[in-house]
């Protein structure tokens, strides 16, 4: 694959967890209007959930915004999840390759840690390629999900973390 | 129904100026009978009436009016008062034999009788005069009372019932006879929490976790230290949690103080715990305003959820098949902390407490509440944090607040001012506005459209430069419903988040219902971003509980876009020999993920233990855990063990004892006694046969609990509680010792004779050494009287001098001097007889 005008950037996401409430917010990148523009608009939000038996499990939010749990994790519908939303504008080039690390670590104010697996995105998993309109005024909205691995006996608390996602213009 | 019928064979011709019949007729034609009177609303009372041979009844008007709480005052030979309202005055003139009520005057000369000083009026005349219709049934010796106005007696009962409901809500009875305040200690042990858990997976990863917590009373406040440590991780000081808390609702300026990790909403995001101090002047008691709002959430299916406001149990409910529960939360004055506790259907208890943010803070009229928080943030910069919040009650329905928050690491804007208005124009409508300088503007509306339909509208406008989201609008509508035999609860939620170039919209619909024992929960949601596909999915949960206690729940998720079921979850619970067994299967219908797990939980008296194993495609996992607590009372040498956390809690050790010398202290020679029951709101009491101590545990510190004792709980008829209702303030991390004195009372008995025959309805008075009337009692129809309930001491027993005067009788002897001795099972003095005789007429002066 030939790389044209390779431009990598990272979007740092900030994760909050309040009583097992995970919400991912973003700091706005200040980017010059070049070939590609990406805004991290919406936080990845796992909603409110809890470990009903203390044996741990997982909770994931897919790009469609559906939450799925495994193990002893139970969700609270009053606080639904949301996928992360990215606004993408591409003025040059044909397509974009998405890449990201497998996981990132969220830490609570009390020092506890949980692992967040990044992805998949609406366009596929790590390494997925997708095309956008070459119109600078056309915005492609990309949905990104994630999965939290909750270890046994995780204490409730506010967890924070960051992850990087790369958009590579071809 | 107990009733007593007797004939009064006594020809007493006292001041019988109203006597309509001669003594012979009276003896043969009238019976005095105790009847039961039924009143609308399910109330009853008993009344003595005279019955004629043709089943006409005559009523003791004064006694009836007293029972019905109709104002009735004796004035010479009249009874005066009012009916229904103060303008409707009446007079019963026994001399003129007339009842005057308003402009109406009724002749009662043909319907009035007097018997042993008591005046009776014919029931039909009472109906004519007062609208009180006594419909007498001679077969059952009952009467139904119908009134053409609301009887004051019914009105009072209605008010009392309403007040009782309020006091039940506030966990506070109307009458408290003993208040036990806090015991303050510089240092006193204490409580201990412990927990151990471990998990292993087949790929050799393991995880071991230890929790330890220690609670004590220190410097007159509650001090807690706890630590959570994972063996696989390095020790971090952040793993230690500590705090000191002090509450005194009687203090004028500072009612609550905290040192250690402090909490509270912060508008400038601080990435770390805040260690410092906070003070405020809000009491932790609950005073309700007129409004309410609704919270809906989920726990495990069929679990019972308790709602606490400021540590007081307010309400409880049961979750549905998908664990959905709904609470109507009353709005209370002051800063409010809402906690929820969860209890499983098989006896499990989860002590997890979810603290909910309350959207409103209402302050009582013309009161100013403040809170001041300051500390250091445990971040890499050790940022300094401070926040002051002032809240003033303009009226009982309007509160305004303002304050300032400071965070040193916010270099651009270290000071953030904020202001807030909470307004309740009507009891069913609450509005809340909050402005955080250059950050957000929030508006919240809570509206009870009807008694059942609840609407919440929440709008937030973001003004911070570094936030891409412009604003969020959320609308919630929830209501219970009933369509024929189909009942349930439904909730609609719509939320739209506005961004510069698009909007993200979410719609959620929850339907919860049941068909006989089958509980159903349907949760459907849809979301779409501008220009994006509408994403829809639905989750169906079913729950069924069999008679043998086996609970089966299942759920499945259906993706509408893909027209596919995505996953299925089946769970089976059963309790065998105090062991809660749970088997579950989770399977994905779109991937190869499958998981089977088995769990067993067992509650020991001193701990809760459990094991779990699960298998999914990636391997086998095991997990083990145990947790428990201890509470110490060194005064009694008692160590109480439990399975729930004891940190920050308190308990009571009640010592009921026979207080022979009446000094309320357990002295040498006095013994503890075993109770059969006590009543305490919001807590569980355990009565020990071993040491007769009543243990009450898992109580919230700094909270008043009301304990009621009933005489039925004592196993000797002569024993009485010195105080029946206690309000006890629970000390933090302490098992408070409270002595409950029980006294042994004596009994007196005797006969009243008129000539050689026993005489009923004679009023006997028992006076103490200071000649105060302790109690009055009437002799039975055969002249026998008795009274049980006299504390040890000296008493005088006499016949009511007023009654003797009216009847122109004298008693022999005039009085009996009695001494009730101290006795474990109660002293008995009998043979206190009186003989009545007519006074000799005074000789006319010559």
CA torsion B82-B84-B88-B90 (nearest 10°) is -40
Give the separation between CA A86 and CA A26, rounded to whole angstroms.
Answer: 10
3-state SS assignment for residue B545: strand
Cβ pair B599:A110 closer than 8 A: no
* B20-41 per-position pLDDT tens digit: 444 334 444 677 788 888 887 6
Residue B299 in contact with partner chain A when CB distance is under 8 A = yes
In the numeric block, which tokens belong to residue B255?
């009612």
Q: What pLDDT sits at residue A96?
A: 85
CB contacts of B559 in chain A (<8 Å) are 64, 66
pLDDT band at residue B259 using 50, 70 and 90 as cut-offs: very high
Q: Hey, which bits of B43-140 come out as E strands?
A: 43-51, 57-60, 73-75, 78-82, 89-93, 98-101, 104-107, 112-115, 118-122, 132-137
3-state SS assignment for residue B817: strand
Q: What pLDDT sits at residue B290?
A: 61
Structural domains of chain B ordered from first start:
5-158 (no CATH), 179-185+629-744 (2.60.40.2610), 746-838 (2.60.40.10)
A92-101, A115-124, B183-192, B781-790: range with lowest mean pLDDT: A92-101
Q: Hey, which bits of B310-357 come out as E strands?
A: 312-318, 324-332, 338-343, 349-356
Residue A115: strand pairing partners: A105, A149
Q: Residue B216 — left, alpha, or beta (φ > 0 → left; ψ -120 to 50 → alpha)?
A: beta
Give the separation between CA B207 and CA B244, rounded to whole angstroms.
Answer: 31
pLDDT band at residue B501 using 50, 70 and 90 as cut-offs: confident
Specify whether the CB–CB gap between B23 and B13 falls below 8 A: yes
Residue A84 in contact with partner chain B when CB distance is under 8 A = no
Helix (H) or strand (E) holding B82: strand B78-82
Specify whether the CB–CB gap between B671 and B753 falls below 8 A: no
Helix (H) or strand (E) holding B557: strand B551-559
Distance to chain A for B164, nearest Cα, Å: 34
Cβ pair B299:A52 closer than 8 A: yes
pLDDT band at residue B334 using 50, 70 and 90 as cut-offs: low
Specify whether the CB–CB gap between A157 and A80 falls below 8 A: no
Q: Which of B706, B705, B740, B749 has the alpha carbon at shortest distance from B722? A: B740
Phi and psi, residue B160, nearest 5°: -65, -40
Q: What pLDDT sits at residue B833?
A: 94
In the numeric block, which tokens belong to residue B739?
């002595």
**Most confident option among A144-158, B56-70, B253-267:** B56-70
The arithmetic mean of pLDDT across residues B64-75, rounded, is 85
Q: Which of B29, B108, B16 has the alpha carbon at shortest distance from B61? A: B108
- Long-range contacts, stretch B669-676, CB < 8 angstroms, 24+ apart: B673/B714, B673/B715, B673/B719, B673/B742, B674/B715, B675/B709, B675/B713, B675/B714, B676/B712, B676/B713, B676/B714, B676/B715
Phi and psi, residue B802, nearest 5°: -65, -45
The arithmetic mean of pLDDT across residues B664-679, rounded, is 88
Helix (H) or strand (E) holding B167: helix B152-169
The arithmetic mean of pLDDT across residues B593-602, rounded, is 89
Specify whether the CB–CB gap between A160 and A13 falls below 8 A: no
**Residue B124: how many CB atoms within 10 A of its CB?**
14
Cβ pair B614:A26 closer than 8 A: no
CB contacts of B350 in chain A (<8 Å) are 52
Helix (H) or strand (E) holding B125: helix B123-130
Facing B197 at nearest CB: one of A40, A113, A152 = A152
Phi and psi, residue A133, nearest 5°: -65, 140
Q: What pLDDT sits at residue B516?
A: 75
Could you tell me the residue ranges of all domains in chain A? 13-48+83-146+155-169
Residue B603 in contact with partner chain A when CB distance is under 8 A = no
* DSSP designation for B149: S
Q: Residues B513, B518, B520, CA angle at the centre, nearest 5°? A: 35
CB contacts of A113 in chain B (<8 Å) are 233
pLDDT band at residue A28 using 50, 70 and 90 as cut-offs: very low
Residue B527 in contact with partner chain A when CB distance is under 8 A = yes
Name the residue of chain A whose CA is nearest to B205's CA: A151
Interface A:B, Cβ pairs < 8 A: 138
Q: Which of B371, B378, B339, B357 has the alpha carbon at shortest distance from B242? A: B378
Whether the predicted pLDDT of A45 surpasses 90: no
End-to-end CA distance of chain B: 59
**Residue B24: how many CB atoms within 10 A of its CB?**
9
Distances (CA, A) of B828 to A84, B720, B748, B823, B836: 84, 15, 6, 9, 24
In the numeric block, which tokens belong to residue B743?
């006294």
ipTM of the complex: 0.77
* B520-538 per-position pLDDT tens digit: 889 899 999 876 778 899 9
Facing A65 at nearest CB: one of B510, B535, B586 = B535
CB contacts of A28 in chain B (<8 Å) are 466-468
Facing A75 at nearest CB: one of B199, B241, B298 = B298
3-state SS assignment for residue B65: helix
Tell me the average pLDDT of chain B.
83
Cβ pair A80:B525 closer than 8 A: yes
Q: Which of A22, A72, A16 has the alpha carbon at shortest distance from A47? A: A22
Give the separation between CA B338 and CA B311, rounded to whole angstroms.
Answer: 8
Whether the predicted pLDDT of A3 surpasses 70: no
pLDDT band at residue B289 using 50, 70 and 90 as cut-offs: low
Tell me the average pLDDT of chain A.
73
Whether the predicted pLDDT of B225 surpasses 50: yes
In the numeric block, which tokens belong to residue B491?
């909730």
Q: Residue A137 — left, alpha, or beta (φ > 0 → left; ψ -120 to 50 → alpha)?
A: alpha
Give the separation between CA B661 and CA B481, rounded to whole angstroms.
Answer: 62
pLDDT band at residue B287 using 50, 70 and 90 as cut-offs: low
**Helical segments of B619-679, H only:** none
Quote the pTM value: 0.69
Name the residue of chain B whose CA is nearest to A89's CA: B501
Cβ pair A109:B272 closer than 8 A: yes
The arithmetic mean of pLDDT across residues B754-776, rounded, is 89
Specify whether the CB–CB gap between B541 and B301 falls below 8 A: yes
Return the half-sphere exposure (C-beta side, CA atoms, 13 A cut-off) of residue B663.
Answer: 6
> Which is more confidently placed, B737 or A56?
B737
Distance to chain B for A20, nearest Cα, Å: 11
Distance to chain A for B674, nearest Cα, Å: 39
Residue B238 in contact with partner chain A when CB distance is under 8 A = yes
Cβ pair A110:B625 closer than 8 A: no
* Cα B380 to the center of its chain, rounded Å: 47
Cβ pair B535:A68 closer than 8 A: no
Whether the predicted pLDDT of B796 surpasses 60: yes
Q: What pLDDT sits at residue B321?
A: 62
Give the separation between CA A166 and CA B352, rounded to whole angstroms.
Answer: 40
B92-101, B147-156, B808-817: range with lowest mean pLDDT: B147-156
Give the separation between CA B591 and CA B571, rounded to whole angstroms.
Answer: 20
Q: Which of B509, B505, B479, B506 has the alpha carbon at shortest distance from B492? A: B509
* B454-473 per-position pLDDT tens digit: 899 999 999 887 778 899 99
Residue B207 in contact with partner chain A when CB distance is under 8 A = yes
The arithmetic mean of pLDDT across residues B226-251, rounded, is 84
Residue B504 in contact with partner chain A when CB distance is under 8 A = yes
Specify whether the CB–CB gap between B567 and A58 falls below 8 A: no
Distance to chain B for A96, nearest Cα, Å: 18
Cβ pair A87:B499 closer than 8 A: yes
Cβ pair B239:A68 closer than 8 A: no
Q: Hey, which bits of B427-485 come out as E strands?
A: 429-436, 440-448, 454-462, 471-483
Contacts of B76 (CB under 8 A, 6+ apart): none
Q: Where does residue B833 rank: exposed (0-12), middle (13-18), buried (19+ CB within 10 A)? A: middle
* DSSP designation for B711: G
Give the separation between CA B393 and CA B363, rounded to whole angstroms.
Answer: 5
pLDDT band at residue B843 using 50, 70 and 90 as cut-offs: low
pLDDT band at residue B738 using 50, 70 and 90 as cut-offs: very high
* B617-630 per-position pLDDT tens digit: 778 888 888 989 99
Residue B616 in contact with partner chain A when CB distance is under 8 A = yes
Choose the mutation target among B378, B468, B556, B598 for the interface with A, i.e. most A CBs under 10 Å.
Answer: B468
The arithmetic mean of pLDDT across residues B805-822, rounded, is 91
Choose the mutation target among A12, A61, A66, A123 for the interface with B, i.e. most B CBs under 10 Å.
Answer: A66
As a whole-number percent, the residues of chain B with pLDDT over 70 amount to 88
The arithmetic mean of pLDDT across residues B217-235, rounded, is 87
The arithmetic mean of pLDDT across residues A7-28, rounded, is 34
Whether the predicted pLDDT of A1 surpasses 60: no
Specify whether the CB–CB gap between B321 and B488 falls below 8 A: no
B192-196, B350-354, B806-810: range with lowest mean pLDDT: B350-354
> Which is more confidently placed, A93 or B225?
B225
Distance to chain B for A77, nearest Cα, Å: 7
In the numeric block, which tokens belong to residue A24?
């991912």
* B144-173 per-position pLDDT tens digit: 888 878 787 777 676 565 545 444 454 444
3-state SS assignment for residue A16: strand
Contacts of B756 (CB under 8 A, 6+ apart): none
Specify whether the CB–CB gap between B316 and B346 falls below 8 A: no
Q: Which of B29, B18, B12 has the alpha carbon at shortest distance from B116? A: B12
CA torsion B362-B243-B650-B723 (nearest 10°) is -60
Q: What pLDDT sits at residue B787?
A: 93
Distances (CA, A) of B412 to A14, B192, B379, B438, B736: 20, 45, 18, 12, 52
Whether the predicted pLDDT of B128 surpasses 60: yes
Q: What pLDDT sits at residue B350?
A: 57
> Which is more confidently placed, B669 or B434?
B434
**Helical segments of chain A, H only:** none
Q: What pLDDT sits at residue B19?
A: 40
Q: Any idea which residue has 């304050």 for tokens? A: B403
């Amino acid at each position: 694959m030939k790389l044209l005008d390779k431009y990598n950037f990272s979007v740092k996401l900030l994760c909050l967890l309040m009583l097992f409430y995970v919400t991912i917010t973003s700091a706005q990148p200040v980017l010059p209007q070049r070939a590609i523009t990406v805004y991290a608009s919406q936080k990845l939000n796992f909603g409110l959930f809890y470990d009903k038996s203390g044996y741990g499990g997982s909770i994931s939010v897919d790009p469609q915004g559906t939450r799925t749990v495994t193990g002893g994790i139970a969700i609270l519908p009053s606080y639904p999840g949301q996928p992360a939303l990215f606004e993408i504008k591409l003025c040059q080039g044909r397509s974009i390759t998405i890449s990201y690390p497998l996981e990132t670590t969220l830490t609570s104010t009390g020092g506890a840690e949980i692992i967040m697996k990044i992805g998949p995105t609406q366009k596929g998993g790590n390494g997925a390629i997708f095309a956008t309109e070459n119109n600078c005024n056309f915005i492609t909205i990309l949905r990104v999900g994630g999965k939290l691995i909750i270890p046994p006996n995780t204490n409730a608390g506010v967890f924070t973390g960051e992850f990087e996602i790369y958009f590579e213009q071809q | 129904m107990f009733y007593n019928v007797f004939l009064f064979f006594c020809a007493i011709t006292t001041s019988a100026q109203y006597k309509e019949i001669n003594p012979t007729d009276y003896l043969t034609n009238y019976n005095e009978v105790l009847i039961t009177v039924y009143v609308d609303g399910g109330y009853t009372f008993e009344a003595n009436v005279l019955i004629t041979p043709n089943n006409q009844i005559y009523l003791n008007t004064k006694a009836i009016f007293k029972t019905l709480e109709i104002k009735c005052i004796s004035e010479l030979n009249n009874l005066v008062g009012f009916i229904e309202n103060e303008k409707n005055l009446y007079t019963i003139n026994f001399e003129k034999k007339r009842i005057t009520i308003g402009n109406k005057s009724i002749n009662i000369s043909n319907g009035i009788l007097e018997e042993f000083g008591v005046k009776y009026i014919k029931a039909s005349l009472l109906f004519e005069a007062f609208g009180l219709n006594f419909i007498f049934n001679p077969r059952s010796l009952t009467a139904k009372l119908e009134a053409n106005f609301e009887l004051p007696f019914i009105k009072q009962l209605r008010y009392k019932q309403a007040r009782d409901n309020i006091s039940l809500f506030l966990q506070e009875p109307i009458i408290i006879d003993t208040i036990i305040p806090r015991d303050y200690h510089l240092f006193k042990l204490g409580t201990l929490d412990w927990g151990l858990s471990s998990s292993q997976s087949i790929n050799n990863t393991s995880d071991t976790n230890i929790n330890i917590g220690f609670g004590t009373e220190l410097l007159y406040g509650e001090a807690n230290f706890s630590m959570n440590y994972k063996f696989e991780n390095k020790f971090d000081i952040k793993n230690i949690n500590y705090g000191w808390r002090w509450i005194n609702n009687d203090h004028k300026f500072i009612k609550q103080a905290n040192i250690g990790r402090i909490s509270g909403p912060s508008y400038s995001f601080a990435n770390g715990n805040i260690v410092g101090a906070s003070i405020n002047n809000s009491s932790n008691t609950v005073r309700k305003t007129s409004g309410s709002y609704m919270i809906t959430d989920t726990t495990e299916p069929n679990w019972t959820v308790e709602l606490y406001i400021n540590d007081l149990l307010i309400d409880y409910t049961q979750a549905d098949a998908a664990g959905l529960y709904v609470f109507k939360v009353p709005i209370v004055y002051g800063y409010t902390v809402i906690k929820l506790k969860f209890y499983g259907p098989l006896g499990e208890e989860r002590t997890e407490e979810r603290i909910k943010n309350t959207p409103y803070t209402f302050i009582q009229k013309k009161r100013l509440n403040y809170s001041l928080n300051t500390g250091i943030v445990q971040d890499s910069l050790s940022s300094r944090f401070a926040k002051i919040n002032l809240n003033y009650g303009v009226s009982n329905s309007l509160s305004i607040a303002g304050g300032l928050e400071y965070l040193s690491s916010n270099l651009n804007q270290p000071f953030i001012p904020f202001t807030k208005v909470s307004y309740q124009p009507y009891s069913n409508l609450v509005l809340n506005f909050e402005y955080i300088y250059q950050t957000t503007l929030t508006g919240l509306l809570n509206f009870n459209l009807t008694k059942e339909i609840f609407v919440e509208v929440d709008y937030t406008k973001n003004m911070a430069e570094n936030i891409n989201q412009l604003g969020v609008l959320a609308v919630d509508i929830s209501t219970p419903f009933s369509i024929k035999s189909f009942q349930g609860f439904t909730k609609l939620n719509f939320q739209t988040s506005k961004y510069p170039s698009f909007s993200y919209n979410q719609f959620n619909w929850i339907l919860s219902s049941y068909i006989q024992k089958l509980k159903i929960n349907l949760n459907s949601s849809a979301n779409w971003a501008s220009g994006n596909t509408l994403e829809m999915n639905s989750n169906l949960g079913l729950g069924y509980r069999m008679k043998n206690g086996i609970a089966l729940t299942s759920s499945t998720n259906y993706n509408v876009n893909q027209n596919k079921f995505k996953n299925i979850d089946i769970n089976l619970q059963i309790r065998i020999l105090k062991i809660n067994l749970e088997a579950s299967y989770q399977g994905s219908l779109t991937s190869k993920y499958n998981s089977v797990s088995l769990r067993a939980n067992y509650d020991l008296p001193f701990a809760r233990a459990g094991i779990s194993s699960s298998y999914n495609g990636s391997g086998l996992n095991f997990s083990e855990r145990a947790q428990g607590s201890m509470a110490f009372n060194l005064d009694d040498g008692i160590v109480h063990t439990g399975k729930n956390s004891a940190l920050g809690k308190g308990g009571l050790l009640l010592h009921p004892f026979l207080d022979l010398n009446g000094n309320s202290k357990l002295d040498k020679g006095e013994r503890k006694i075993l109770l059969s029951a006590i009543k305490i709101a919001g807590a569980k009491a355990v009565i020990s046969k071993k040491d007769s101590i009543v243990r009450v545990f898992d109580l919230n510190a700094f909270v008043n609990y009301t304990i009621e004792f009933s005489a039925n709980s004592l196993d000797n008829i002569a024993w009485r509680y010195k105080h029946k209702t206690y309000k006890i303030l629970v000390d933090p991390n302490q098992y408070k010792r409270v002595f409950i004195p029980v006294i042994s009372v004596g009994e007196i008995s005797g006969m009243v004779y008129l000539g050689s025959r026993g005489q009923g309805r004679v009023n006997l008075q028992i006076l103490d050494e200071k000649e105060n009337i302790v109690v009055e009692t009437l002799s039975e129809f055969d002249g026998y009287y008795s009274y049980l309930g006299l504390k040890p001491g000296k008493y005088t027993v006499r016949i009511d001098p007023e009654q003797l005067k009216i009847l122109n009788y004298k008693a022999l002897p005039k009085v009996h001097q009695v001494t009730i001795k101290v006795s474990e099972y109660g002293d008995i003095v009998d043979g206190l007889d009186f003989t009545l005789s007519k006074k000799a007429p005074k000789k006319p002066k010559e």
